[in-house]
Amino acid sequence: MLQYNVSLENKTIFVTGAAGFIGSNLVKRIFTDVKEVKVVGIDNMNDYYDVNIKKERLQQIKEQVENLDTQVKEPFVFIEGNIADKPLIDKIFADYKPAVVVNLAAQAGVRYSITNPGAYIESNLVGFYNILEACRHNEVEHLVYASSSSVYGSNKKVPYSTDDKVDNPVSLYAATKKSNELMAHAYSKLYNIPSTGLRFFTVYGPAGRPDMAYFGFTNKLREGKTIQIFNYGHCKRDFTFVDDIVEGVVRIMQHAPEKQNGEDGLPIPPYKVYNIGNNSPENLLDFVTILQEELIAAKVLPADYDFEAHKELVAMQPGDVPVTYADTTPLEQDFGFKPATPLRQGLRAFAQWYAKYYGTC
């Protein structure tokens, strides 16, 4: 196992996408684990999905911070803004001098990238470039950034390994995430910036993203609408509970790839990429069955709900892949951690949150 070489205590951590699903959970976890820490968060609060969920996440963070026993003045600073705004990013780095940067801000979603490609170029490419440039000109100990399992495209070999060649993206979203990895590698090589990319696999959980299948299915079933199950139910997904994702991020934040020079005297890029996935793909039909059972148990749906009448098996969508499956061996070897939350446990937590947030039937 690797030894931690980055202390988070008495540091400022910059989290982009702080009102997002993973970002908000990460901020709460940082304040739970680290006693003396300052977190600066940024989010553009766009309406890609219900902004009220983002506001609710921020409110939870603020309530947690109010009860902190800390000597840090203003432990949480939230800035509503866009990482594609370079003067704003430069000002944040100048004002707060973050030691650790976690870039989670991105335009997410495979299908949305087909109809709104500009949003992906702005946030995922221009925005990430601004973060890299700011890290270049400031003393940043570690840059951690979100990549995606989407980079594997239609890779036939499973489980997906970070050693696999991933040069054939099947969506613009995937292309931007692969580009992030390439850009980070170049900056690590040129400017000796320690960076770690994280390929997340189908993250789910309470207060998640409404555009994700489990959330969208729930909304439609509750409204009596028909849900479409793609590839006639033959898709498999490596569903990963958000707490497992955050556990992996927190561990990885605390070990920056070591700086060292090669025989030519130039930096060997202090650069790593890890998969964070459950290492256990679930068939989409099984997933939907478990979701239905947990929604009934949480009283989101009535006990006699006619599920078969609200289910339609359809062909694969453009940009989708039939299976995602993470090889997490390097994560286990380096950090002693492997995501392991069972799907039923995770969906139960989601169903209970949904019932509390939206009400029961």
Q: Which residues are catalytic?
A: 173
d(CA 200, CA 247): 12
Q: What SS3 class is residue 16?
A: strand
Residue by residue, DSSP assigns 196-208 as EEEEE--EE-TT-
Tokens in use for 158?
Answer: 């499973």
* 295 C-beta neighbours (distance < 10 Å), count: 26
Q: Which amino acid is at 171?
A: S
d(CA 62, CA 58): 6
Enumerate residues 6+ apart whose C-beta is below 8 A from 67.
none
CA distances to 69, 282, 331, 346 from 9, rounded to whole Å, are 14, 38, 23, 30
d(CA 210, CA 157): 30
Strand ranges of the sheet holding 142-148, from the earlier edge strand across to the other edge? 76-80, 37-43, 11-16, 100-103, 142-148, 195-200, 271-276
Q: What is the 8-class DSSP label of residue 265?
A: S
Enumerate residues 6+ apart whose C-beta is below 8 A from 202.
149, 212, 237, 238, 239, 240, 277, 324
Q: Which amino acid is at 270?
A: P
